[in-house]
């Protein structure tokens, strides 16, 4: 069972400053959004944003594609209050590994800005992706980005090659757990999250019954995209496994899309 209280406390505290913080990361966020928009079909009719924050991003993506049914979901009461102000089709206050039961299936599900990294172990991360798969329409796509422990653009090539060697010899998910402080204005907000390796997140994707349709690395500072997954955060388009027809081989699949 995941303990959500630290995450709720963190995002409740961040809520008044969320727009300001998002503006500082605009190069990265805009690059991710371009990837998402490029891969959403024009006939998509519904979108679910999991970990929606203040909801502005999910509503903007839906508007760009003329999607008329949009649901915003978050676990933070302060973020949920902001989502309601936007008047989406529905708002869910829910943990991502225990989403509501509904007959609705979504053409687009987004789980962006390392939302999955706020869950505290692999079993909960798999459970969350299984919930997304449950709510996905037959031809729908999930868009997921996560922090990359093997991001040489952020941590340097020497350090990353050391991490790759260590993680290959002694794999341990807990090695990716991190804590930090968000410095926003005069406020310092403590936070925590998880940095995934490409092999780790792709094993979680496979275990959840999903498969990778496309993937790219996105530089967290300038938003540049690369097929080499050592050059940024990890961004995926996922489908239910039966929809995936061209899986990459095991050697190339972890670091090159």
Q: Using one digit for the tens of pLDDT, what is the confidence trace for 27-67?
A: 999 999 999 999 999 999 999 999 999 999 999 999 999 99
CATH number for the domain that contains residue 180: 3.40.50.150
Q: Is residue 105 part of a domain?
A: yes
Q: Is residue 254 part of a domain?
A: no
Residue 47: give the domain boundaries.
Answer: 5-241
pLDDT for res 249 = 46
233 has pLDDT over 50: yes
Q: Is residue 233 part of a domain?
A: yes
Q: Is residue 228 part of a domain?
A: yes
244 has pLDDT over 50: no
Q: Is residue 133 part of a domain?
A: yes
pLDDT for res 254 = 57
Distance CA 13, CA 30 (A): 24
pLDDT for res 248 = 41
Q: Is residue 66 part of a domain?
A: yes
Q: Is residue 119 part of a domain?
A: yes
- Cα radius of gyration (the chain): 17
Domain count, the chain: 1
Q: Is residue 257 part of a domain?
A: no
Helix (H, G, I), strand (E, B) or coil at 11: helix
Going by C-alpha positions, the residue among 221, 240, 242, 241 that lies closest to residue 232 is 221
Instruction: Read off the tokens for 20.
Output: 């300001």
Q: Angle between the 5-14 and 77-85 helix axes, to the nearest 10 degrees? A: 50
Question: pLDDT tens across 158-201, in order?
Answer: 999 999 999 999 999 999 999 999 887 788 989 899 999 999 99
Phi-psi region of 55 (alpha: psi -120 to 50; beta: other; left: phi over 0): left
In what helix (H) or strand (E) does residue 69 lie, and over which residues does it extend?
strand 69-74
Residue 217 gets which letter from DSSP?
A: E
User: Average pLDDT of the chain?
Assistant: 94
pLDDT for res 247 = 44
């Amino acid at each position: 069972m995941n303990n959500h209280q630290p995450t709720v406390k963190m995002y409740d505290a961040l809520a008044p400053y969320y727009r300001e913080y998002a503006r500082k990361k605009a190069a990265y966020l805009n690059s991710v959004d371009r990837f998402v928009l490029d891969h959403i079909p024009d006939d998509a009719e519904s979108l679910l944003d999991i970990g929606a924050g203040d909801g502005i991003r999910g509503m903007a993506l839906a508007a760009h594609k003329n999607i008329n049914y949009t649901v915003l979901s978050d676990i933070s009461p302060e973020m949920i209050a902001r989502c309601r102000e936007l008047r989406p089709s529905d708002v869910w206050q829910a943990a991502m590994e225990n989403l509501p039961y509904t007959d609705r299936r979504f053409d687009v599900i987004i789980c962006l800005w390392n939302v999955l990294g706020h869950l505290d172990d692999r079993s909960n991360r798999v459970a969350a992706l299984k919930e997304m798969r449950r709510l996905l329409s037959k031809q729908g796509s999930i868009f997921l980005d996560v922090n990359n422990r093997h991001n040489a653009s952020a941590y340097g090539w020497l350090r990353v090659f050391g991490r790759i060697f260590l993680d290959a010899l002694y794999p341990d998910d807990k090695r990716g757990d991190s804590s930090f402080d968000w410095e926003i204005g005069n406020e310092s907000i403590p936070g925590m999250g998880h940095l995934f390796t490409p092999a780790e997140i792709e094993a979680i994707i496979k275990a959840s019954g999903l498969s990778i349709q496309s993937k790219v690395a996105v530089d967290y500072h300038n938003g540049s995209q690369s097929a080499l997954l050592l050059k940024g955060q990890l961004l995926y388009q996922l489908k239910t496994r039966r929809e995936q027809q061209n899986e990459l081989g095991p050697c190339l699949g972890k670091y090159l899309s």
